[in-house]
């Protein structure tokens, strides 16, 4: 990080040595839409530096990577297949909106000057799962009220879905309604990625409502500070597809080909069957044990293990 900023300052010094008007240093980022190294670079290097140096650089994103064209440019072949090609095109044609919708979450990670040592909790679920609805309302919401300062909570609405044709389409456990519900929640959650309480409220609300993808249902979004028009735009213009591909990658890191049970609760990125079983009936007690009883409420949360 320090080296990246130092290099930019050296280049900027050369630019500023010129006579007025001052020219900006042009910085090109050549990448592809599915590159994890790019995500790390943007998160760890670019965004922190850009906050300090945005007035001095002309930043250009070029989402192409190692792709190449065939048939005189009629078709493209991409390093990570059609899903990458699709993502590259989305970013090329909607660059400003894409950055606003997706990279804002990377910025949120770096916005904390002194991040707390919190317990990472991942909730892997789908939008139509009754077991997830019970877990969220009976376990997560009551515990979160007292433990929010001690956990870093992430919702991953993917469940037992899988993609076909190299990521062009998704098949979901409960059919098209679930797929649409997953898209809806992914788009909504992405808007409020800086506000964990709003995410809890949004998911809890969505999981309580009867679902019909043919009925407009903006109430949970609007109650959580989410722009419903942006949600529908996200779904209709393909951004939801990219978000779900990422949710699938996250899910496959903890379970392949998919979780045995939904919801699956994962702590600090590692699945543990015993903790999973206990979390469904005593989530608060499990969290307290994993944070060494650090929260004031912990002594008052009894064990329900049998």
Phi, psi of 129 (to 5 degrees): -85, 115
Residue 159 above 80 pLDDT?
yes
Q: What confidence score (pLDDT) does residue 164 get?
A: 76
The ranges assigned to domains in the chain are 2-110, 119-300
Most confident of the following: 29-38, 56-65, 108-117, 276-285:
276-285
- Which two structure tokens, joined as six digits, stand for 173? 């456990």
CATH of domain 119-300: 3.40.30.10
The strand pairing partners of 155, in sequence order, are 123
DSSP run (H or E) holding 3: helix 2-16
Nearest C-alpha neighbor of 126 from the set 136, 116, 117, 111: 136
Reported as a pLDDT band with limits 50, 70 and 90, residue 94 is low
- pLDDT above 90 covers a percentage of the chain that reads 49
Phi first, then psi, for residue 270 (nearest 5°) are: -125, 125
Contact 207, 133 (CB under 8 A): yes
219: CB partners within 8 A, 6+ apart = 205, 209
């Amino acid at each position: 990080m320090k080296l990246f900023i130092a290099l930019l300052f050296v280049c900027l010094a050369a630019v500023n040595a010129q006579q007025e008007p001052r020219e900006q240093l042009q910085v090109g980022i050549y990448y592809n839409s599915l590159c994890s190294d790019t995500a790390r670079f943007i998160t760890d290097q670019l965004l922190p530096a850009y906050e300090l140096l945005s007035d001095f650089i002309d930043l250009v994103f070029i989402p192409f990577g190692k792709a190449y064209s065939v048939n005189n440019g009629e078709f493209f072949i991409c390093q990570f297949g059609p899903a990458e090609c699709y993502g590259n095109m989305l970013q090329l044609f909607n660059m400003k909106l894409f950055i606003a919708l997706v990279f804002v979450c990377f910025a949120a990670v770096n916005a904390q000057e002194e991040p707390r040592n919190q317990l990472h909790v991942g909730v892997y679920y789908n939008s139509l799962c009754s077991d997830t609805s019970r877990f969220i309302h009976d376990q997560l919401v009551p515990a979160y009220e007292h433990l929010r300062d001690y956990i870093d909570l992430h919702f991953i609405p993917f469940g037992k879905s899988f993609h076909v044709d190299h990521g062009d389409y998704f098949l979901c456990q409960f059919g098209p309604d679930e797929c649409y519900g997953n898209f809806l929640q992914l788009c909504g959650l992405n808007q409020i990625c800086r506000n964990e309480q709003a995410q809890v409220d949004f998911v809890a609300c969505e999981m309580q409502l009867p679902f019909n993808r043919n009925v407009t249902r903006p109430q949970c979004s609007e109650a959580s500070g989410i722009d419903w028009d942006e949600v529908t735009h996200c779904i209709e213009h393909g951004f939801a597809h990219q978000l779900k591909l990422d949710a699938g990658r996250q899910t496959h890191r903890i379970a392949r080909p998919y979780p045995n049970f939904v919801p699956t609760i994962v702590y600090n990125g590692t699945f543990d069957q015993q903790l999973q079983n206990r979390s469904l009936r005593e989530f608060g007690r499990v969290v307290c044990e994993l944070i060494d009883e650090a929260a004031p409420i912990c002594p008052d949360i009894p064990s329900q293990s049998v």
